[in-house]
Structure 1
Amino acid sequence: MGILYWQLNAIWPGPDWATIEYDGRLRLSHYSVARAFAPLALSVELDVADDGSALDGRLRVHAASDLPGAVAGTLRVDVHLWATAPAWPAHSLELPVSIAAEASAIVHEVSLVALGLGPGAKIARDDAFVRLSFEPNDASAAPGAVPSTGRVFVDVWLTPFKSARMTRAQPAIVSLAQTSLTRAVLRILSNATAALVAVESDAVVGAFSDGAFTLLAGEVRELTFEARAPFALEQMRQGLSVRSVWDTYEGEEAT
């Protein structure tokens, strides 16, 4: 709750500046909270050691739905290597899943051994992460709950970022176009898989459609930007920057 409310005994019954800057810019935590409160969301329970690394065991996949009807589809479990470019799963599973209406429950348990991540496996956990995605059989059964990608997904970090053997990620904006006086569309591409990608606009105040997301190596991600007032495209271009979790570890040796 501290993410949503700066202090619970505040006299106003609403969110304050915990996830929103004073000028209206959205902080990264805002995007994470939005995903957690989506009409259809996945989360994962994983046993971890004191250092934050995954223990041998199972991934317990939870689904939470606010939809009025049940949704059936496919749960895909992909093991991705940080160093693979373009990104391609090193191991995959596809499992049938049914998510009940207005409910939250464990929909599947997946063994780490079945994913090639058990003791003595060829894939070291420092080298990989797991992406789980749910694709409904009928998108019309989940109106407004499924992103434009057609899937609801969540990433599972098997080790702390400081221990993960990431490749130096350099996400960059490859195109930028203004579609109205207050709206722009941009596309981002990265040479290596980048975690917690954030796009910031210093010159123009507004909000991006997504943030704190994982950008797979070779994936092109399209974002929209909604400004609070009309702006010039060149003005916005000069104030744009893209960062990822890699940039917080300056001085670390690159893989």
Structure 2
Amino acid sequence: SWASIDYFGRWKAAHYASRRFFAPLLLSIEDEREHMNLFVSNDTLEAWSGQIRWSLETLHGEQLQSGAVDVQVAPQSTTCAQELDFTSQIGEEQRRQTILVCELWQDEHVALAIATFAPNKHLALANPQIGVEVQGDGRQLTIQLQSRSLARFVELALGDADVIFSDNYFDLPAGRPVRVTCTLPESWSVEQAQQALRVRSVFDTY
């Protein structure tokens, strides 16, 4: 659809989001104010078992409460793995400064999802100070990112180059490194890519 891919074939935010929510294994959070329900959807033809690790934390990554739950999901089905109630932890003052970070694991990291207790425009977002490290291996470019506070919907771009990243427009909670790859544009060097790389998040929009 032209709604999610531009004239040059570059993916827009909606296309990256579509790949995530159409993934064979999906971790999702149903948020109802202070009540958070954790779901895993398994679209494969085999049963799946793994673990959800969750953390109630400040935007700067200070952990307030954490836990883990083992989960088993039948083929082509969805299960509610855990229901969490943070009524006693989340008051009006904490609502703008606190998030729930959930990660799905099976030997290795599978997926990440976050939920907020306030709309994005009301979050007390600070400059995430995203650290970036760029490396090249042949024609593959690897971009390592890590933030000091929550960065919402991180956008990567290599100038005007027609690049499709392994992920884009993603959330980057504090202290959790993320690795993104892409094909190095034709005739570009790693140094050129490093200079052209632009990293932005919601914080940079206001």
TM value normalised by structure 1: 0.72
Aligned partner (choices 45, 49, 60) of residue 37 of structure 2: 60
SS of the aligned residue for 1:156 comes to strand
Give 2:99's aligned residue.
129
- Using the TM superposition, give the Cα deviation of residue 41 of structure 1 relative to its aligned residue in structure 2, in angstroms: 0.2
Compare 67-76 and 32-41 and name the one that shifted more: 67-76
- Using the TM superposition, give the Cα deviation of residue 77 of structure 1 relative to its aligned residue in structure 2, in angstroms: 2.0
Q: Do residues 44 (structure 1) and 1 (structure 2) align?
A: no
Contact between 2:16 and 2:169, CA under 8 Å: does it hold in 1? Answer: yes
The CA RMSD over aligned residues, in Å, is 2.2
SS of the aligned residue for 2:121 comes to coil
Cα-to-partner distance string for 1:76-122 (whole Å, 9 max, x where unaligned): 2211201x3xx3422112223221111123332222237x33x58xx
SS of the aligned residue for 1:184 comes to strand
Over 6 Å off, 4+ runs = none
Q: Do residues 176 (structure 1) and 134 (structure 2) align?
A: yes
Cα-to-partner distance string for 1:236-255 (whole Å, 9 max, x where unaligned): 23321100110112xxxxxx
Cα-to-partner distance string for 1:110-163 (whole Å, 9 max, x where unaligned): 22237x33x58xx71211111122223xx5xxxxxxxxx523221112111221
TM value normalised by structure 2: 0.87
Q: 1:96 and 1:234, CA in 2 relative to 1: closer, same or farther beyond 3 A?
A: closer
Aligned partner (choices 99, 106, 109) of residue 150 of structure 1: 109
Q: Distance in 2 between matches of 1:26 and 1:105?
A: 31
Say how many residue pairs are matched: 206
Q: Do residues 238 (structure 1) and 158 (structure 2) align?
A: no
**Superposition map of 1:67-78 within 5 A:** 67-78=44-55
Contact between 2:152 and 2:170, CA under 8 Å: does it hold in 1? Answer: yes
Contact between 1:67 and 1:101, CA under 8 Å: does it hold in 2? Answer: yes
Q: 1:89 and 1:247, CA in 2 relative to 1: closer, same or farther beyond 3 A?
A: same
Aligned identity (percent) is: 24
Q: Distance in 1 between matches of 2:53 and 2:70?
A: 9
Q: Distance in 2 between matches of 1:44 and 1:192?
A: 21
Contact between 2:146 and 2:178, CA under 8 Å: does it hold in 1? Answer: yes
Gaps of 5+ in 2: none
Which of the two has higher C-alpha Rg? 1
SS of the aligned residue for 1:32 comes to helix
Contact between 1:71 and 1:98, CA under 8 Å: does it hold in 2? Answer: yes
Q: Do residues 220 (structure 1) and 194 (structure 2) align?
A: no
Aligned partner (choices 64, 71, 81) of residue 90 of structure 1: 64
Cα-to-partner distance string for 1:205-238 (whole Å, 9 max, x where unaligned): 2111111222233333221112463423343233
Give 1:104's aligned residue.
78
User: Aligned AA for 1:81?
Assistant: T
Contact between 1:75 and 1:94, CA under 8 Å: does it hold in 2? Answer: yes
Gaps of 5+ in 1: 1-15, 48-53, 140-148, 250-255
Q: Which has the higher strand share?
A: 2
SS of the aligned residue for 2:63 comes to coil
- Using the TM superposition, give the Cα deviation of residue 73 of structure 1 relative to its aligned residue in structure 2, in angstroms: 2.5
